[in-house]
Structure 1
């Protein structure tokens, strides 16, 4: 059904239009308070924008969430962008993205600057603690995604095959190959699974606008690597690497970890220790996990770095997912009803479980767990997240503080 509620005397009417300023204020509040990752973000969005503000009805919101979970990219940010588009038009969409993203991005940029000033045992213990937080968080993500996305033998087999592919073919090539092979395997192994029923999602995005957005997505996907290879400009290389990472994120925001590790650690732009410390810090801030890109852009050794690198990385990693949302909205109802599309996505989602599981071992585990005490702290963080359901930011504080104490004793 339409995102607007039906009136008593006829079909549903569009919701009243809002202003970009209203959208910005609503999402700034969410960007400052939405801890807990993308699933929690969707709950915050529902409470604030569906229940309290009534920008969209429950059925329309559920359909929108289904769209953004089907597409690659940061699901919660894509939902927020679409809600801003619904309420305030194109400027409202940009206002929603900026207000939800910039608080966490600015905090992580400040951390990137401050991390270089830390010295001594306490600083080393803090950074090591953040790396142990990354172990716990990624292990939780693998556990939760495996239960949800690999519920049968076929999909568990696709995930296991992905681990082998990434293990024997490291870097971006192995990750892309694993996801592509997973989608192909899904067409074969998952085609007989029940087709999920779909509703309707009606947004006022003309089909020509959707086609332009999809064309822009494809042109950048193909053109950026060519430009980066033809013109060895550092800015182009950075944009291409982060855009590629944003294209390949299926199944959850944590999948960006191995993609970004291949993009910035393998070429030597960011050290492995700084990478994992920043990923751990990203768990302590509200807003989208993709804001981690701002930290990486600021912390890079070669130029561009600092604020310029943070801005380029942040825009580049979000851009493909947002273009896909605009491009998919006019065609979504027809696409997702097709059994083969659902089968391919089941296989791709199973493959990303394997990709993330491989990243849990290397670089996350091998870089962080070097002593029995490290294993004990990482296990404590994992149990706090999975058994006691502790908020991620409290786990960051607890594990980092324990690591500092161990470093000082």
Structure 2
């Protein structure tokens, strides 16, 4: 028996065909422009595919849990299922992100084998963050229905989602991304990595959309823009060619094997010692480092000047090219201070392009 929780965001994607480039905060305007819901039909397509695949493959019988009304129940019945309804939206005919999150909490309480959600990146974020908050390690799979679908947790089509949900036997961690819709409507893509989710392994899944090229040049340009705009912050810039490219963008020649301290357009110390770094820290400090290729060490190899005392007073920004991360697998820390090392461990966003970030695990 395979237990699947299904939740549908019935307004996902409504803004696309009427030129709104998204539906976040624009549902009423989309309706005024004559938009029609598309998520319910895509949910039915996915669930019909699930039923057909389950019957044809002779695999495990499917037990379907849904949220009420158009958040899953109606679509499941139309696809031929007799679902178990675990709850209903607070208001008839009106759904919110809070309803989606409540549905996910109830699926987690039932310990489902998979959450199949229908929506876009915003729905993916709601589902993933709710599972994280609940401490539930449940795989998820998205049926694409939003205007923007930048995450790598979606099947390529609704029918593919149904097939994958019926057949999968293992999972892998994949990225959940979202973008700023207001900026998107103005022609600017600001993508942000919002989490990592376990997703069935299958060929019919889309990759995370690449934003900003993902080159060292685009990475350096994006990082330098952020640093220049961060008035009053002190930046501790570690060794290596990747951080060196950022320093080039900032307009100065850095110390290739050393650590430089920069604030508000000025190099405070070049090739600084630990004491010099500490003496020049301010109220707000950011350490920028890149892992060592082939090893993955972020701290403790070649940058001992950035000591535990410096790290305790600073935020940490890790930057790296995609090929470097592909060759590393994980990031490592060895500062000599167990408490600081433990504070750095876990999942961390690494800048790999002008806008793009990738989740990497620090061990």
TM-score (norm 2): 0.27
TM-score (norm 1): 0.25
Max Rg structure: 2
The structure showing larger relative contact order (alpha-carbon pairs under 8 Å, at least 6 residues apart) is 1
Whose helix proportion is higher, 1 or 2?
1
